[in-house]
Structure formats: C-alpha cells, structure tokens
Amino acid sequence: MVATLRSLFARRFKEVPAVQDVSFDIDEGEIVGFLGPNGAGKTTTLKMLSGLLYPTSGEVRVLGHTPWKREQGLLSTITLVMGNRSQLLWDIPAADSLRVLQEIFQLSEHTYRASLDELTDLLELEPLLHKPVRNLSLGERMKVEFAAALIHQPRVLFLDEPTIGLDVTMQARIRRFVSDYNRRTGASILLTSHYMDDVVALCKRVIVIHHGRLLYDGALTGLAERMAPHKLIRVTLSHEADLASYGEVVSHEENTTTLKVSREEAADRTAQLVHDLHGQMLDLTLEDPAIEEVIDRVFSEAQVALAAGV
C-alpha cells in the first residue's frame, strides 16, 4: 500500500543518456538516412534537430538557427512528417486544411497555387483533395500528409518513418516522390526508417546510431565495405558440384551455390572459379552482403563491444 502511494509521488528514474557524443554536419541538398534499431536514439536525434527536444549539452544548428528556440524564420523553412500520424483535420477535405496552412505560412496566392499544383502533379492528388481526410485510405492519407507538409516549400525535411504501414506499391511511390522532390528543390532531407529499401533507394549517406552512439557516418556502399569484411559469390552450374574448397558455403539450392569469401580474396576466388568451371558455369555474381545483414552484424558487434566496456 505504501509502495502504491509512493509510486504516485516519487517515480524512480534511471538516467539513461538517449544520445551521446553524436556529431555530424549535413550539407544542403543531401538526403541522409538514420539507421538504428528501436530505442537507438535516432528519433531522439531527429527531434533535437527539429527542435522538439532540448539537448542537455551540445549545440544544434539548422539553417543557421537553433531549432529549440523555434524562431519564426526557421519554422517556415522546415517540416516534419511522421509516418502513420496525421496532422490534418480529420473531418474536412485536405484542400481546406491546406488553405489554413497557406495563411499560417503567409504564402501568397501565386506561391500557394504553384506549390499545390506541383505537389498535386507529383503525388497524383487530384481525386483526394476534396474528400474528408477520414475517408481516405492509409496510402492516400500519407500522400495528402506530404502535401500539407510541403506546401510551404521547406528547405529541410525531417521524415520519421514515412513509409511505415504502407503497402509495397505505395512505399515505392513515396520513395520516388521524395527523391523527385529533392532533385527538383534541392531540399535537405533527414530520414529515419525501419525499411532498408527506403534507405537504399534514397540515401547516399547513412548515419548509424545504436545505444545513442554514432557507429558509422558515411556512404551507404561504404557501410558494407567497412562493416562486413566479406563478399558473396553466387555460382550457378549446369550440374551439382561441391564448391566448399573455394570458400564457405552459405547456401546451396539445386545447382546454385552461394559462397562467402573475405573481401581481399574475392577477386582471386572469382577468377579461380571461372578458370576451373567456365565450361559448366551458367551464372556468376559477386555481391555485397545484404545491407540488413550488415546492419544486424554492426549492431550485435556493437552490443558485444559495449558489454565488454570498449
């Protein structure tokens, strides 16, 4: 009983740093992906960048402003889109909510029309704008959300899991839109996502965050190189064969074998295989390991490192 009462008044907290020693710079026009498992700190980072959170120490500057001060000058040039979350009024058509946004952002009729036309074009909004938002499907709603988020032509976009819950076609559509938008307007985009496909399709640069620490900041392709020191050779022969001598057999299906070899030896082994088996070889590809695998490995290794107190 006493414990119950006490829990009302004194919540016992454990201080867990959400984000520690994370530093980076992002140039105009970049699309950067934040990768990390749940609770890694990527959403926290995004919120600090957009001004929704105050960092306990350190400095954040976006377009020359300090985000958490939420100055007018900054707010009219940034936008936040959260997947599966609606910021539009539910019961009225999106077109009417957009009008409200026009006033809030003080867009001239000309600017507003131009912006709306472009977005309608890119997102195929025509049939959706005049239906009450609650009558739209999830995918349609996401499109309309994007329109509302971009009507003021922001220069910095914060996208938090924008494709979550959408079907595959819609995800591809949104990805295409984001990349088009970046190309057309040169806006900088910061994206967090669970879906590797989002990151692979859009981001040349990724920042990996785990347990609040920055594990990697660089090109996506470099990630595989740095983190997974092996490559995969997939060989399809005209008949069964045991290729264990060429490398570690990862999988074997009918006549197709996947071998894992270290990066340094990849070229040599490939050459060897061609030399030895070219008569029976139907297909041969040299691949980087799947990005998911790389990420998984990165995280589990990081976990081990952390546990070891590195």
Partner 1 sequence: MRQLLRVYRAIFVAEFQAAAQYRVQSVLWLLFAIIRPVVFLAAWSAAAATQGGRIGDMTISDFAAYYVAVTLVSQLTMSWNAYDFELEIRQGKLSPKLLRPLHPLHYSVVENIVFKVATMPALLPVLVLIAWTFQARFATTWGHVLLFVPSVLLAAALRFMFGWLMATFAFWTTRVHGIMHVYDRLVFLFAGQLAPLSLLGGLASIAYWLPFGYMLWAPSEILRGGASIDQALGMIAIQAMWLALSWLGFLGLWQLGLRQFSAVGA
Partner 2 sequence: MQFALEYRANLALDLFEELIIVISSLVAVLILYDHTSAINGWTEGQMIELLGVYYLVQGAQAVVFETSFERFMEHVRMGTLDFILIKPVDSQFMISTRHVQVPQFGQIAMGVLVLAIGIAQVGGGFGVLDALAFAATLVCGLLLVYSLLLVLSTLSFWFVRVENLLAIFWSFLDAGRFPVDVYPGWLRVTLSTVVPIGIAVTVPAQAIAGRLELAGVVAMIGGTIIMCWFASWFWRRGLRSYTGASA
Of 276, 268, 269, nearest in space to 237 by CA: 276
CB of 178 to partner 1, least distance (A): 18
Chain centre to alpha carbon of residue 65: 24
**Which member of 86, 179, 182, 255 binds partner 1 (CB under 8 A)?**
86
**Which member of 106, 135, 137, 303 binds partner 1 (CB under 8 A)?**
106
Number of residues that bind partner 1 (CB under 8 A): 31
Query: What is the rounded CA–CA span in Å between residue 63 and residue 258?
Result: 48
CB of 3 to partner 2, least distance (A): 6
CB of 74 to partner 2, least distance (A): 38
Q: Which is nearer to partner 2, 5 or 307 (CB)?
A: 5
CB of 66 to partner 1, least distance (A): 14
DSSP assignment letter at 16: -
Query: What is the rounded CA–CA span in Å between residue 156 and residue 159?
Result: 10
Q: Which is nearer to partner 2, 10 or 310 (CB)?
A: 10
Q: Which is nearer to partner 1, 62 or 215 (CB)?
A: 62
8 Å CB contact between 229 and 293: no
Confirm or reject binding of residue 159 to partner 1 (CB under 8 A).
no
| Per-residue tokens: 198 | 């989002």
Of 84, 192, 95, 197, nearest in space to 137 by CA: 84
Q: 5 contacts which partner out of partner 1, partner 2, none, CB within 5 to 8 A by kind?
A: partner 2
Residue the block writes with tokens 């040039």: 77
CB of 8 to partner 2, least distance (A): 5
Query: What is the rounded CA–CA span in Å between residue 3 and residue 283?
Result: 68
Q: Which is nearer to partner 1, 112 or 246 (CB)?
A: 112
| Per-residue tokens: 129 | 């704008």
Q: Is 173 helix (H, G, I), strand (E, B) or coil?
A: helix
Window 7-26: residues binding partner 2 (CB under 8 A): 7-8
Bridge pairing between strands 156-160 and 188-192: parallel
Q: 80 contacts which partner out of partner 2, partner 1, none, CB within 5 to 8 A by kind?
A: partner 1
Confirm or reject binding of residue 274 to partner 1 (CB under 8 A).
no
Residues 6+ apart with CB under 8 A from 212: 17, 18, 19, 20, 22, 40, 41, 44
Bridge pairing between strands 213-219 and 205-210: antiparallel
CB of 258 to partner 1, least distance (A): 41
Confirm or reject binding of residue 155 to partner 1 (CB under 8 A).
no
Given the rule CB under 8 A, which of 4-12, 43-51, 197-205, 278-286 is the region that contacts partner 2? 4-12
Confirm or reject binding of residue 52 to partner 1 (CB under 8 A).
yes
Query: What is the rounded CA–CA span in Å between residue 304 and residue 301?
Result: 5
Binding site for partner 2 (CB under 8 A): 3-5, 7-8
Residues near partner 1, by CB under 8 A: 47, 50-54, 70, 72, 75-76, 78-80, 82, 85-87, 89-92, 96-97, 99-106
